[in-house]
């Protein structure tokens, strides 16, 4: 059996003495596409930063493809799109943004080499933006900026891609484009993808597995299993309506949690 892409065993993280992640056990196999949902402050970003080795857990163990996060980052195996990077006025072209992601450069200040340019163009091609390589980054739409930043995360040719709310601030049509790109990346590069998102209804169509996180993992498994309102209510701490379009049903359902019935 190959090592899982991501393997967390009983991971506990405290920040400023406060527990943020408790007893997280999660195994993600190579090539899987996972969605992570949960309320604000539930620890989603902290989980990604722990997988990246930026945060050291107080307890438990984190392995990435069988090795430590630090070593995996050193080998360029982890690509990362941090939360809320759009809106930044990088005064450079799309291509230059992608080249900044080729961080295994021996000297950051030396001029870009031809092969770095080629690799960056290839990454832009993967996200469907080869035609925009010379556009100034600030002039691209929100959805295009996110795709450029995904290309940047791909520049080190990672095996695992971590995305923190890539769909925030992106309109519905562009969001659909973003998901198509992720699906293609996964098919063409056999990438393992872990995506944090608020988009509970839509991602069920795109991911293989879902984890619901609020300090601890309340559910992990089949995305349709996560669509239970009572589970989501427990996760978000308030009654929720979920609009779903299940592949096996004709139309959209509205699921309502039980507490709504007593309104």
Ligand X SMILES: Nc1ncnc2c1ncn2[C@@H]1O[C@H](COP(=O)(O)OP(=O)(O)O)[C@@H](O)[C@H]1O
Which partner in ligand X, Mg ion, none is near 35 (CB below 5 to 8 A by kind)? none
Alpha carbons within 13 angstroms on the beta-carbon side of residue 57 total 24
Q: Closest CB to ligand X among 15 and 103?
A: 15
Interface residues with Mg ion (CB under 5 A) are: 44-45, 83
Q: Closest CB to ligand X among 83 and 259?
A: 83
Note whether 158 binds ligand X by CB under 6 A.
no
Total residues contacting ligand X (rule CB under 6 A)? 11
> Minimum distance between the CB of residue 238 and ligand X, rounded to whole angstroms?
16
Q: Closest CB to ligand X among 144 and 165?
A: 165
Q: Would you say 65 and 78 are in contact if contact means Cβ atoms under 8 Å apart?
A: no
> Minimum distance between the CB of residue 167 and ligand X, rounded to whole angstroms?
14
> Minimum distance between the CB of residue 175 and ligand X, rounded to whole angstroms?
19
Which partner in Mg ion, ligand X, none is near 16 (CB below 5 to 8 A by kind)? ligand X
**Pattern 26-65, ligand X, x by CB under 6 A:** ------------x-xxxxxxx-------------------
- Residue 213 φ/ψ, nearest 5 degrees: -120, 125
Q: Closest CB to ligand X among 40 and 106?
A: 40
Q: Closest CB to Mg ion among 22 and 130?
A: 22
Q: Closest CB to Mg ion among 44 and 186?
A: 44
Note whether 17 binds ligand X by CB under 6 A.
no
> Minimum distance between the CB of residue 38 and ligand X, rounded to whole angstroms?
6
Dihedral of alpha carbons 149, 186, 169, 147, sign = positive
**Residues near ligand X, by CB under 6 A:** 15-16, 20, 38, 40-46
């Amino acid at each position: 059996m190959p090592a899982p892409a991501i393997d967390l065993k009983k991971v506990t993280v405290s920040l400023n003495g406060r527990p943020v992640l408790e007893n997280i056990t999660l195994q993600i196999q190579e090539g899987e596409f996972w969605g992570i949902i949960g309320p604000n402050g539930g620890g989603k970003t902290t989980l990604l930063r722990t997988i990246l080795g930026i945060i050291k857990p107080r307890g438990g163990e984190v392995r990435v493809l069988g090795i430590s996060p630090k070593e995996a980052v050193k080998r360029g195996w982890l690509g990362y799109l941090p939360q809320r990077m759009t809106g930044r006025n990088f005064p450079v072209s799309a291509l230059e943004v992608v080249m900044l992601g080729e961080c295994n450069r021996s000297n950051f200040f030396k001029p870009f080499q031809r092969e770095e340019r080629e690799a960056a163009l290839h990454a832009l091609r993967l996200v469907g933006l080869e035609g925009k390589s010379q556009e100034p980054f600030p002039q691209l739409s929100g959805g295009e900026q996110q795709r450029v930043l995904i290309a940047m995360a791909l520049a080190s040719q990672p095996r695992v891609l971590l995305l923190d709310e890539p769909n925030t601030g992106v309109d519905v049509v562009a969001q659909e484009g973003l998901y198509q790109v992720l699906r293609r990346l996964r098919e063409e590069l056999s990438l393992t993808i872990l995506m944090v998102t608020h988009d509970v209804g839509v991602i069920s169509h795109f991911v293989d597995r879902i984890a619901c996180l609020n300090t601890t993992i309340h559910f992990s498994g089949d995305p349709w299993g996560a669509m239970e309102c009572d589970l989501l209510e427990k996760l978000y701490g308030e009654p929720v309506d979920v609009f779903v379009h299940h592949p096996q049903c004709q139309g959209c359902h509205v699921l309502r949690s039980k507490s709504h019935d007593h309104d």
